[in-house]
Amino acid sequence: MTTTTHAAAPIPPTPPDAVKQPHVVKAPFGAERQDEYYWLRDDKRENKQMLAYLQAENAYTDTVMAPLKPVEERLYQEIVGRIKQDDSSVPYRERGWWYYSRFETGQDYPVHARRKDGPGVDAASIQQANAAGDFDGEEVLLDVNAMAKGKDYYQVGDYEVTQDNTILAYADDTNGRRQYTIRFKNLATGETYPEQITGVSANLVWADDNRTLFYVENDPETLLTKRVKKHVLGTPVAQDALVYEEPDDSFYMGIDRSRDDKYICIGVESTVSSEQRCAPAADPAQFVVLAPRQRDVEYQAEHLGDRWVIRTNADGAKNFKIVTAPSDSTSRKDWKDWVPHRDDVYIEGFELFDGFTAVAERSDGLERVRILKAKGEEEYVKADEPAYSMGLDVNSEPDSDWLRYSYTSLTTPATTYELNVSTGERRLLKRQPVLGGYDPARYVTERVWVPARDGTQIPVSLVYKKGFEKNGKAAMLQYGYGSYGASMDPGFSVTNVSLLDRGMVYALAHIRGGQEMGRKWYDDGKLLNKKNTFTDFIDVTEYLVRQGYAAPDRVAALGGSAGGLLMGAIANMAPDKYRVILSQVPFVDVVTTMLDPSIPLTTNEYDEWGNPEQKEYYDYMLSYSPYDNLKAQDYPAMFVGTGLWDSQVQYFEPAKYVARLRDLDTGSQPVVFRINMEAGHGGKSGRFRRYRETAEMYAFMLDQLGVAEPAP
């Protein structure tokens, strides 16, 4: 074994130093704060002084990372070496065609394709043909590699085929800002239609006439989903009719078809309320509200047969219940309880079939799928590991006895099964291939419960290589998120195998702010309870170190977006607990951002963080906002990443944060700031490019933790 030492090369003495310019940020009730780096904000991304600063940060990062290039390259080759390059998805059948996506060796982007159904054609036969390189009978819908050629960033966000299977509509994005353009293609002739619709979200629905497309138009400044419009093929886009406009900026909006394809529905949803309006897909002239919105009442409705089936938290059902209503219902008065609320079970969703219903639910911090049969019988889909993730997969046809579901764990690659609900037969449709000799038996996953400082038990999923000893010497990477009720479930990662093979422990902390333990878990980690998210994460770290999973000076922390807020908070609150912090697209300037309704997402999120125009929330948010709580102390080594075109967490938040951190940090550990000048919130497009970014970040972490490199 050869070892990597700390600080493999001398850190250049002068990292970039952004100039200070006085600027006062005011709150409506009179509070004022100085923000000397506010000038780094440029909504058009054109300010030459700002761009020069970001380029200087990239150059500094290049210099710091240069000695670690061999480690970075080795990590990258390990990661991509585990990926089956000519892989394909599990085909699903819809209206007489089997749809799938596949990758070609050496290509970054997928090919979206389909094959006609017929005798002997099924998911297995198509997968076998794809694996053999036999594409006879395949119809290519979109070759994204050809479409992305010559572009720094490219993504197809959504595509939909008309009900008669002849015309394709798709939405693409060329800079990562999630402002999409809709284009049309005739699948019979290959002709591309002349009309294009710009400034939209990636959400498309065709009406039954095969000519009318419903789409969602964004506000050009805030990118909020504001209007549903409809476009008729062959007519000027400027004449597209307005179908619905949402007046409340705290709501997101989307459109979809019902399970049985009878209805087109417009759904609007805020953090605490939702509303759905639907129209017959055969004649979508008038959209009727199923139940008027009401604060603290959420619902999502699906239709099959002669009834609506609705997931809702109405009537105090904090963990949600399922109710039914007749097809002509327009009021909650018609709702009848079907699957009752339980304090110990959180209902995440459901899928309707003609002969049964599958319910995705969560208990004890783990996902389960419950099958409700027509005769009132029920059963659970089985799992074999103590920590895992299970969920409903693509089930495109309700008239089937087969339920598709997905399964993964920290050691088991993503797996798709289908279960015959009538006979109990289970088929393995696909397990994500992992090349390079990966064997799940060489690794161990476990679930531990960590007492938080207020006595709450926090679930933590762990994975490490078999033979690991809890002797307090190992290096550990701990990941967390803890916002928006998003549950971070244990799933397989091709990147983390490289860490495990170097003797590291990977810990996934299911902290409050997610929904792993039900709705209360979310409520206890938002608004005026937000600090629980941060202290939970710190308490997990301290516990795992005490239990010998890691050395106290060899702990790394990772989080992105709202998880980047978590990283910024723990850096201020407990900098001595972490040797290195990895923070991607971090939300670190909470108060300033939430005071500015012109920034995308702000108005949608008052019920997540609070509205700082109210003093109570202003004071609480100010007490933890990472940018505002930076102070003169020794900070850990940090790797901060962002995308110039990010529309969710604007680039200037981490830019300001790094600039102020450099001013106040009294320690000697390196702080590097990597800015992707072409990408947005999700990083670079293409399946391999993002692994370059991960390899660079992990190389920095391994160096800081003093992790040994395997012998060649």
Query: Residue 405: how many CA atoms within 13 Å on its side-chain side?
Result: 28
Q: How far apart are the first and last CA of the chain?
A: 9
Tokens of 352: 């309707």
**Which residues on neighbouring strands pair with residue 433, listed in sequence order?**
none
Q: Which of 81, 14, 220, 18 is nearest to 657 (CA)?
A: 18
Question: In angstroms, rounded to a whole number, what is the distance separating the alpha carbons of residues 171 and 697?
Answer: 31
How, if at all, do strands 92-94 and 426-431 pair?
A: unpaired
**Of the candidates 602, 519, 486, which has an alpha carbon nearest to the alpha carbon of residue 346?**
519
CB atoms closer than 10 angstroms to residue 283: 10
What is the distance between the alpha carbons of residues 222 and 602, in angstroms, rounded to a whole number? 9
Task: Give the integer Cα–Cα distance in Å for 71 and 67.
Answer: 9
* Residue labelled with tokens 């087109």: 264
Number of other residues whose CB lies within 10 A of the CB of residue 371: 18
DSSP category for residue 655: H
**What gap in Å lies between CA 674 and CA 642, rounded to an integer?**
7
Backbone angles phi, psi at 94, to 5 degrees: -150, 120
Rounded-to-integer distance, Cα 577 and Cα 565, Å: 17
DSSP state letter for 248: -
Among residues 561, 583, 625, 647, which one is catalytic? 561
Distance CA 258, CA 276 (A): 12
Looking at residue 182, the DSSP 8-state letter turns out to be: E
- Which residue is listed with tokens 């600063």? 53
Candidates 562, 547, 541; CA nearest to 636 is 541
By the 8 A CB rule, do 457 and 543 touch?
A: no
Cα separation, 274 vs 536, whole angstroms: 30
- Angle of helix 48-65 relative to helix 689-705, nearest 10 degrees, comes to 60
C-alpha to C-alpha distances, 383 to 254, 404, 518, 591, nearest whole angstrom? 33, 15, 20, 43
Please tell me the distance from the alpha carbon of residue 705 to that of residue 551, in angstroms, as a whole number.
10
**Residue 596 gets which letter from DSSP?**
-
The phi-psi region of residue 710 (left if phi > 0; otherwise alpha if psi is between -120 and 50; otherwise beta) is beta
Is 35 one of the annotated active-site residues of the chain? no
**Checking DSSP bridges between strand 366-373 and strand 356-363, what pairing results, if any?**
antiparallel
Radius of gyration (Cα) for the chain, nearest Å? Answer: 26
561 catalytic per annotation: yes
- d(CA 588, CA 654) in angstroms, rounded, equals 7
Among 405, 550, 385, which residue's Cα sits nearest to residue 477? 550
**Active-site annotation holds for 231:** no
Beta-bridge partners for 450: 458
Contacts of 337 (CB under 8 A, 6+ apart): 321, 322, 323
Torsion of CA 196, 199, 201, 206, to 10 degrees: -30
- Residue 231, both tokens: 């476009």
Sheet containing strand 580-584, strands side by side: 443-451, 457-465, 505-509, 476-479, 555-560, 580-584, 637-643, 671-676
* Beta bridge pairs of residue 379: 371
Using the structure block, give the residue that is written with the tokens 């004071």: 619
Q: Which of 172, 489, 536, 646 is catalytic?
A: 646
Which positions are annotated as active-site residues? 561, 646, 681
